[in-house]
Amino acid sequence: MASNGQALLRVENLRTHLFLKRGVLKAVDGVSLHVDEGETLGLVGESGSGKSMTSLSIMRLLPKHSGRIVDGHVWLDGTDLTTLPEDEMARDWRGSRVSMVSQDPMTSLNPVFTVGDQVGAPFRYHKLAQGAQAVRDAVVKVLGRVRIPSPERRLDNYPHQFSGGMRQRVVAAMAIACAPRLLIADEPTSNLDVTIQVQMIELFRELQRDSGLGIILITHDLGVAASICDRVAVMYAGRIVEVGDVRTMYRAAAHPYTQALLNSIPHLGQRRRRLYAIGGQPPSLIDPPVGCRFAPRCPRRTAKCDAEYPPEVELAPGHVTACWHPGPGGSA
């Protein structure tokens, strides 16, 4: 599912395993995707589908003793990040060219350091500002970019003195401090109310317009993905099952899992006795099935689905799915 052209990010056949006492968990099992400059790719799916582990693999932030990239490549601006020594990855790439906004700002911010200290850390580490006053000026500027009111006064506050939405903006400021080429946003709006979600989405749009930033938005909220993403990739059990532009994915989704996710969204004005839910459970990634991993929960299941994993099928330019029976009609 990688681009044929020159992409900002190209992930090819990425496989990340977690080596646990009870077995090898195949968290990411052959993922390929691309992100162009100035593009937002939505990575959606249920919890445990491999979205966050994919992002951690790109950042090379896997669990130290159990996580390992066993195959595949992650190309950023033509450099394969999987081949870099850790010191070079930390010094020249992580935080400066590729950065991440985590899901919960309270776990990302240290409660005993001021916001100014923490936002200033990337400037000091990557030597982008010399001297206390230069770092302070840089922090004020980047806090202003993410719309923190009166940043010259707020940078001496502590995280607990900020609201949830403001803390998320502080985390975003840390992520964009070094003007990265790629930003990975892992569920950045899941803990925010609807009004603040809209503000965060608009903030990402502004940052992208100003710098041509490439964004991977990880979310389970298809409404958020529709409002900001150019393309959407749907993950299930460690693999991407469908990818396409937003309009196609929401109007002509072909994979049964994508359709089930869309059916799970409540629609204003529609009266239903019960909300739609996907039956069953995702498979174990320690011992995944040989065939299609969604087959046990799929209404179109056939013997072929259980026997062999389906190949990728291009239904239209840029619209690819891995299904033996794609489309609303269920015909291959």
pLDDT at 268: 67
pLDDT at 2: 40
- Contacts from 276-285 at CB under 8 Å and sequence distance 24+? 282/46, 282/48, 282/49, 282/236, 282/237, 283/237, 285/25, 285/26, 285/27, 285/29, 285/48, 285/50, 285/237, 285/238
Within 10 angstroms of residue 275's Cβ, the number of other Cβ atoms is 9
CA atoms of 88 and 325, how far apart (whole Å): 45
Tokens of residue 208, six digits: 């992208």
pLDDT at 270: 67
CA atoms of 55 and 275, how far apart (whole Å): 31
Q: What are the DSSP E strand ranges found in the chain?
A: 9-20, 23-35, 40-44, 67-76, 79-80, 98-101, 182-186, 214-219, 231-236, 239-245, 312-316, 319-322
Low-confidence ranges of the chain (pLDDT < 50): 1-5, 329-332
3-state secondary structure of 321: strand
What are the structural domain ranges in the chain? 1-97+181-255+313-332, 104-177
CA atoms of 121 and 99, how far apart (whole Å): 14
The CATH number assigned to the domain with range 1-97+181-255+313-332 reads: 3.40.50.300
pLDDT by residue (tens digit) across 89-128?
Answer: 999 999 999 999 887 777 789 999 999 999 999 999 998 8
Q: Tokens 């590729």 identify what position?
A: 98
pTM (predicted TM-score) = 0.90
Percent of the chain as helix, strand, coil, to the nearest 5: 35, 25, 40
3-state secondary structure of 151: helix
3-state secondary structure of 319: strand
Q: CB within 8 A of 307, min separation 6: which ones?
A: 290, 291
